[in-house]
Structure 1
Amino acid sequence: MSGILDSVNQRTQLVGQNRLELLLFRLNGRQRFGINVFKVREVLQCPALTAMPKLNPLVRGIAHIRGQTISVIDLSMATGGRRIEDLKTAFIVIAEYNRSVQGFLVGAVERIINTNWDAIMPPPQGTGRASYLTAVTEVEGELVEILDVEKILNEISPLNTEVSAEVASTLNTDAHKDKIIFIADDSSVARNQVKRALTTLGMEIEMAKNGLEALKRLKEIAEETGDVTDKVGVLVSDIEMPEMDGYTLTAEIKNTPELQKLHVVLHTSLSGVFNQAMVKKVGADDFIAKFHPDELASAVQKWLGPEE
């Protein structure tokens, strides 16, 4: 137990410091890729895969790992590359996204590095694989690509973004029609999923691609109005974002007088034992795991506050 607590304490020290840990891996060839360690449950040599009828072509098979059946997605194929052929030398990165566990087939796994979110930059425009990237960074003079896993998963198994009729009937934001809902997320797929779900509330929605962009815009609004809450009803923010993550964004908001009354809902595919400690430390109002439109819409309604 003390080992787990020490690990939690070590990672919560990163909160507000805009830092993260990346697991580096390769698909086919020399190009390096990265995934946030928080999303990784374990990494193991690729076990025997069981072929199943009618699987998506990007799913190479099913693996039985520690009593659980896990779909194994070929990350190279999923991003438009050639399939990973030699499964005997390949690895599976087992990760949790959007309340489910997936296995990602990769060619090789390197190591974990500790870096700053401000060293993680938006992807360059015009590259062939750019639509599958949320960010890039540089390690040892080489470009590391961070994949938009939410986009990949949505292409394989699209998420429902509609709020149920039952929940929709309980939503009433008439008193807040003059305010906006602000969304910050680096994944274009995730931004649009959140937007579609929250459109049910009938309010104007504004979006930013990362925490730094969101913070600048919120400060602009505060300069115009005197207090950001005069215009913005609630902020829904991802945690993993280039340049400034959601934890740091929240801490900046809560430490800025003209922003600190803004309610912040952290909405993320990250899961695990660390999040609640981190959410409490930075002062976020709520934490919602992606992606359940009913829970998200209800949380936004809650933090908009009572009718004025």
Structure 2
Amino acid sequence: MTGVLASINSRTQLVGQNRLELLLFRFNTNQLYGINVFKVREVIRCPSLSILPRSNPNICGVANIRGVSIPILDLAMATGLPGVEDKASAFVIITEYNTRTQGFLVYAVEHIVNLNWEDIHPPPKGSGEDNYLTAVTRLGDQLVEIIDVEKVLAQISPTSEEISQGVVGADMTHLAPKFRVLTVDDSAVARKQVTRCLETVGVEVVALNDGRQALNYLRSMLDEGRKPEDEFLMMISDIEMPEMDGYTLTAEIRSDPRMSDFHIVLHTSLSGSFNQSMVKKVGANDFLAKFRPDDLAGRVVARIRATTVQ
């Protein structure tokens, strides 16, 4: 499996072309699941685990990997499925989300597939809000389910949504309510986190589910003679989204001269220095790692003050 992942660092050219690569894996059944390769640091056989007293029941234990203690999560159990029974023959996918490193225990790891985000779709309607899927796709006649890892991690190890004192000044009480912010994210958990944070700042929030929906929304505004930059302080968009990713959304917006001045911040759990270069390549104004309430609120406050000064 090390060989399968050896070329991940050379695959960044896919970003910005509305393409992604999924590492496929299974739990105890034939159902295929996928995770974005850019979230994966390595795949290993399940190492010896040390049990953590009073830890979440979905945490199998802690593994010492090259001198670093990493929590190992039974991803199947965390999503309500039977947990992996034979840990000795299982694999661990070491991942990084929102600057946190953790391992996902899975039964088997398959291969990497190269896909277009247009082939990645939201979960079927009627699947309910309690499901743990963020998207689905098909490989031939087989369905691949993409788990909403942010939702899983938020339930097992919640991130504080509190904004530190002093980040939002007293002047925002009067200034912020005059502004609206457009947010785009396919994860329901992430949408709620961002919305609550921005509403604490005091701005009005319009939240959309993916890049395609956002682009259609903005174009419909233009067709009506309305300029997004006149109605929204900024757009804060996730990068990984079905139908159209945040890089492609940004590039499409910038290709329309009517939206050349629309302020765009890309907000993602993806880690890696390539994000900074991609921000410049597609024309975004800024990049922000998830989920840091102080940083997010600070960006909005700074934008409000800069706009007010102008």
Question: How does the TM-score come out when normalised to structure 1?
Answer: 0.93
SS at match of 1:49: coil
Deviations 1:14-63 (A, max 9, x none): 23320011100001100000000000000000001111100100001110
What displacement does 1:104 show?
0.5
Bigger Cα displacement from structure 2, 156-165 vs 44-53: 156-165
The whole-number CA distance in structure 1 between the counterparts of 2:62 and 2:290 is: 24
- Asked if 1:160 corresponds to 2:190, the answer is no
The whole-number CA distance in structure 1 between the counterparts of 2:196 and 2:159 is: 11
What displacement does 1:74 show?
0.3
- Asked if 1:201 corresponds to 2:195, the answer is no
Q: How does 1:181-196 map to 2 (within 5 A)?
A: 181-196=181-196
| Structure 1 pair 258–176 and aligned structure 2 pair: CA distance change class (3 A) | farther
Question: Match for residue 239 of structure 1?
Answer: 239
Letter in 2 for 1:215: L
The whole-number CA distance in structure 2 between the counterparts of 1:303 and 1:173 is: 15
| Structure 1 pair 10–83 and aligned structure 2 pair: CA distance change class (3 A) | closer
Question: Match for residue 272 of structure 1?
Answer: 272
CA contact (8 A) 2:16 2:278 kept: no
Question: Match for residue 260 of structure 2?
Answer: 260
Question: Match for residue 115 of structure 1?
Answer: 115
CA contact (8 A) 2:8 2:37 kept: no
| Structure 1 pair 234–56 and aligned structure 2 pair: CA distance change class (3 A) | same
The whole-number CA distance in structure 2 between the counterparts of 1:145 and 1:14 is: 21
| Structure 1 pair 124–81 and aligned structure 2 pair: CA distance change class (3 A) | same
Instruction: List structure 1 segments (4+ residues) > 4 angstroms apart after TM superposition.
Output: 6-10, 173-176
The whole-number CA distance in structure 1 between the counterparts of 2:44 and 2:11 is: 24
What displacement does 1:8 show?
5.6
Letter in 1 for 2:172: N
Question: Match for residue 45 of structure 1?
Answer: 45
CA contact (8 A) 2:176 2:202 kept: no
CA contact (8 A) 1:171 1:298 kept: no
The whole-number CA distance in structure 2 between the counterparts of 1:7 and 1:46 is: 21
Question: Match for residue 100 of structure 2?
Answer: 100
Question: Match for residue 28 of structure 1?
Answer: 28
RMSD (Å), alpha carbons = 1.9
The whole-number CA distance in structure 1 between the counterparts of 2:180 and 2:271 is: 28
Structure 2 residue runs without a partner (length 5+): 1-6
Deviations 1:236-280 (A, max 9, x none): 100000000000011111111222211111111000132112111
SS at match of 2:112: strand
Q: How does 1:212-227 map to 2 (within 5 A)?
A: 212-227=212-227
The whole-number CA distance in structure 1 between the counterparts of 2:210 and 2:288 is: 18
Question: Match for residue 132 of structure 1?
Answer: 132
CA contact (8 A) 1:234 1:265 kept: yes
Letter in 2 for 1:70: I
Q: Alignment length, in residue pairs?
A: 302
Structure 1 residue runs without a partner (length 5+): 1-5
Bigger Cα displacement from structure 2, 98-107 vs 120-129: 120-129
CA contact (8 A) 1:171 1:201 kept: no
SS at match of 2:198: helix
CA contact (8 A) 1:22 1:113 kept: yes
The whole-number CA distance in structure 2 between the counterparts of 1:91 and 1:129 is: 29
| Structure 1 pair 222–78 and aligned structure 2 pair: CA distance change class (3 A) | same
Bigger Cα displacement from structure 2, 171-180 vs 261-270: 171-180
Question: Match for residue 3 of structure 2?
Answer: none
Letter in 2 for 1:163: I
Q: How does 1:142-153 map to 2 (within 5 A)?
A: 142-153=142-153
Question: Match for residue 248 of structure 1?
Answer: 248
